[in-house]
Amino acid sequence: MSVMVQDLHFSYATRPVLAGIDLTVEAGEFVALVGVNGCGKSTLLRLIAGLLKPSSGRILLGGTELASLSRRQVAQRLAVLHQTLPPVPALTVRELVRQGRYPHRGPLGLLWESDSMDEALELAGVAHLADRVLDTLSGGERQRVRLALAVAQNTGILLLDEPTAHLDIRHQLEVLELVRTLREARGLTVVTVLHELDHAARFAERIVALHEGRVWADGKPTEVITPQLLADVFGVAGRVVMDELHGTPRCLLDAAL
């Protein structure tokens, strides 16, 4: 399912955040949003999810205008993996994933026994954790469970807000590899916010860099990740080399500008 953003503007009170964003993500694409803190990456993701209302502009999901959809209809089209999970004391993995059809109706929402729940647990590699209480899981395990929750919605679009935040290097790689696997298994359209440029280059097929409320660059990792991007968008001097193993660019950072 495609995502189209047309001339999108958004402000928090009197502080402009996004100013004229145009972006089209085709069905099945894997796109990473990059940029410094406060540039509007997470805000753009929340606008696409319908969790914020734009000041002006349009968002279309699969050709249907977002503003015309109910919350339930939006949840049938896209799933969101937020940075944090609301407190869910004594809830088991299975009980949480069962809520997959209702991600926007509060921490628990309306109970729903999804036909795809077992498949979601298997795809996310957490079926063996189904009866474990969430509070007993490691950070990496929790992130996999949250991905299972998103997959259980049976949507065509998956939005992820910094899915590797607060994870160690091993679990960062595991989560991103899992996202790539889920995308291929389900034909998902994936839009994710990432801080690590090397991760974005390795796992996403397209990178959109935001700067001062606008799209500064949009294209393949080899086109977008350049010393100019490091200087203009991130404020650092650096070099970009090719990773011979993965065939993707890697950043060598030298100094703050």
According to the model, what pLDDT value does residue 166 have?
85
Please name the residue ranges forming H helices in the chain.
Answer: 41-48, 71-77, 93-97, 117-123, 139-151, 169-186, 197-203, 221-224, 227-232
Note the pTM of the prediction, 2 decimals. 0.91
- Which residues, in sequence order, are bridge partners of residue 210? 215
Q: Higher confidence at residue 96 or residue 235?
A: 235
- If we measure between CA atoms, which residue out of 198, 228, 223 comes closest to residue 208? 223
Q: What is the pLDDT of residue 108?
A: 47
**How much is the mean pLDDT over the chain?**
89
Instruction: Read off the pLDDT of each residue in 13-33 and give the average, rounded to a whole number.
Output: 95
pLDDT confidence of residue 101: 55
Return the pLDDT at 251. Answer: 96
Residue with more model confidence, 99 or 146: 146
Q: Please check whether residue 148 is in contact with residue 126, taking contact to mean a CB–CB distance below 8 angstroms.
A: yes
| Cα 91 from Cα 154, distance rounded (Å) | 22
* Share above pLDDT 90 across residues of the chain, in percent, rounded to a whole number: 65
> Higher pLDDT residue, 39 or 98?
39
Q: In the chain, which segments carry CATH 3.40.50.300? A: 1-77+157-178+188-256
Decide which of 3.40.630.30, 3.20.20.140, 3.30.70.270, 3.40.50.300 is the CATH code for 1-77+157-178+188-256: 3.40.50.300
pLDDT cut 70: percent of the chain above it: 92
Which of residues 250 and 95 earns the better pLDDT score? Answer: 250
pLDDT at residue 87 in the model:
66
Most confident of 134-148, 166-180, 215-229: 215-229
pLDDT at 104: 39
Per-residue pLDDT averaged across 75-94, rounded?
A: 82
Say whether 85 sits in a helix, a strand or coil: coil
Rounded-to-integer distance, Cα 11 and Cα 56, Å = 10
pLDDT above 60 (res 111): no
Residue 251 has phi, psi (to 5 degrees) of -105, 130
CA pair distance 230, 239, nearest whole angstrom: 8
Determine the pLDDT at residue 97.
86
* Phi, then psi, of 228 in degrees rounded to 5: -65, -40
N residues, the chain: 257
Residue the block writes with tokens 């030298």: 254
CA dist 44 and 186 (Å) reads 24
Report the pLDDT value the prediction gives residue 70, as an integer from 0 to 100: 92
Q: How open is the CA angle 110-116-117, to the nearest 5 degrees?
A: 60
**Mean pLDDT, to the nearest integer, of 46-69?**
95
